């Protein structure tokens, strides 16, 4: 069997500062080491529980965060951006998926680094009218290939708000309890490792017993994006099938979740380009 591990950073334990999250930031090395350790624990336990191959999708920011020095032979890693299916590249060839370091959607109170895909440009994303976190977006993409998410580890509010609501079959491991957007309480790595290994064993057993379901949405997919500023929506409206709903909101329809997701990737990149254009004018 083959598993995908999608790795974000904002929901990782101990990460509470922007200094943990950016390439040139002072605490970035610490953030990378934390994320790498959590990922390798899960990959190792998956391998012990019948998964012969593991694909790791390095999925935060520039998507070149994890250290690669100690990757086991059975692990392949996907790095770099842009790329097809972004945070879940490779999911279409896997049997099951695990999401690590995931966080709550934008606007969630007292949740570290709450955002949806791009905090700089995206306020809200909806899929067929449902406000979606990155967990929900990525799980829906996996559902198009009949790949279930079997375990999510990350920030407590995400697990409460989204994972237990939309995918109750998932094993869930709390890596941090947020106290504000930039503070959190986390267990020791010793305890986290024990909980992750136990959760992987349970998740694998559930998967083998066919208790885990691919998360699916209705088709065609009605996809809505609310931007942080009107100039982002101005650019998104250039998409021929986009409908402008307000100063900040656009909506489009896609044949399935994969098409909707790829279009969303393009709009997010267009918004980033617009920010660069405006910055160069000053």
Residue 171 lies in a domain: yes
Contacts (Cβ under 8 Å, ≥6 apart) of 190: none
Same domain, 145 and 251: no
Same domain, 249 and 194: no
Peptide bond into 220 cis (omega under 30): yes
Same domain, 261 and 201: no
User: Tokens in use for 143?
Assistant: 């559902």
Q: How many helices (H) and strands (E) does the chain have?
A: 7, 12
| Structural domain containing residue 47 | 2-115+134-208
Tell me how far apart the 2 most distant CA atoms of the chain are, in Å.
59
Average pLDDT over residues 224-244: 97
Contacts (Cβ under 8 Å, ≥6 apart) of 89: 57, 78, 83
Q: Would you say residue 264 has pLDDT above 90?
A: yes
Q: Would you say residue 235 has pLDDT above 90?
A: yes
Residue 120 lies in a domain: no
Same domain, 186 and 259: no
* pTM beyond 0.95, yes or no: yes
Residue 129 lies in a domain: no
Q: Would you say residue 249 has pLDDT above 90?
A: yes
Residue 30 lies in a domain: yes
What pLDDT sits at residue 154?
Answer: 98
Residue 143 lies in a domain: yes
Average pLDDT over residues 119-123: 94
What pLDDT sits at residue 68?
Answer: 96
Please report which residue ranges of the chain form alpha helices under DSSP H.
28-48, 134-144, 156-158, 164-166, 189-208, 230-236, 257-280
CA angle 86, 54, 193 (to 5 degrees): 100
Interval 139-189: pLDDT, tens: 999 999 999 999 999 999 999 999 999 999 999 999 999 999 999 999 999
Average pLDDT over residues 81-91: 96
Same domain, 27 and 148: yes
Same domain, 103 and 174: yes
CATH code of 94's domain? 3.40.50.10780
Same domain, 11 and 72: yes
What pLDDT sits at residue 229?
Answer: 97
Last residue of a domain, one of 208, 240, 272: 208
Q: How many domains are there within the chain?
A: 2
Average pLDDT, rounded, for the chain: 97
How many Å apart are CA 41 and CA 193, to the nearest integer? 7
Helix axes 28-48, 189-208, angle to 10 degrees: 40
Interval 29-46: pLDDT, tens: 999 999 999 999 999 999
Average pLDDT over residues 202-229: 97
Number of neighbours of residue 188 by Cβ within 10 angstroms = 9
What pLDDT sits at residue 278?
Answer: 87
Residue 216 lies in a domain: no
Residue 127 lies in a domain: no
Same domain, 250 and 156: no
CATH code of 241's domain? 3.30.1360.130
Residue 92 lies in a domain: yes
């Amino acid at each position: 069997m083959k598993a995908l591990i999608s790795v974000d950073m904002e929901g990782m334990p101990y990460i509470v500062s922007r200094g943990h999250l950016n390439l040139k930031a002072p605490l970035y090395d610490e953030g990378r080491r934390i994320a790498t350790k959590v990922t390798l624990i899960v990959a190792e336990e998956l391998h012990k529980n019948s998964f012969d191959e593991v694909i790791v999708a390095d999925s935060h920011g520039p998507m070149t965060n994890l250290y690669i020095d100690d990757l086991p032979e059975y692990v392949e890693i996907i790095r770099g951006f842009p790329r097809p299916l972004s945070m879940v590249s490779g999911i279409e060839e896997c049997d099951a998926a695990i999401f690590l370091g995931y966080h709550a959607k934008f606007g969630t109170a007292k949740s570290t680094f709450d955002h949806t895909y791009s905090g700089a440009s995206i306020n809200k994303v909806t899929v067929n009218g449902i406000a979606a976190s990155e967990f929900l977006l990525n799980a829906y993409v996996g559902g198009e290939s009949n790949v279930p998410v079997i375990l999510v580890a990350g920030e407590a509010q995400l697990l409460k708000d989204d994972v237990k609501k939309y995918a109750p079959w998932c094993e869930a491991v709390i890596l941090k309890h947020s106290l504000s957007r930039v503070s959190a309480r986390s267990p020791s790595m010793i305890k986290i490792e024990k909980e992750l290994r136990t959760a992987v064993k349970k998740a694998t057993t559930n998967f083998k017993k066919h208790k885990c379901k691919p998360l699916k949405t209705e088709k065609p997919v009605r996809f809505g994006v609310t931007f942080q500023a009107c100039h982002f929506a101005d650019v998104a409206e250039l998409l021929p099938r986009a409908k402008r709903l307000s100063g900040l909101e656009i909506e489009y329809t896609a044949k399935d979740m994969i098409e909707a997701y790829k279009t969303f990737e393009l709009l997010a990149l267009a918004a980033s380009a617009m920010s660069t254009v405006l910055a160069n004018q000053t």
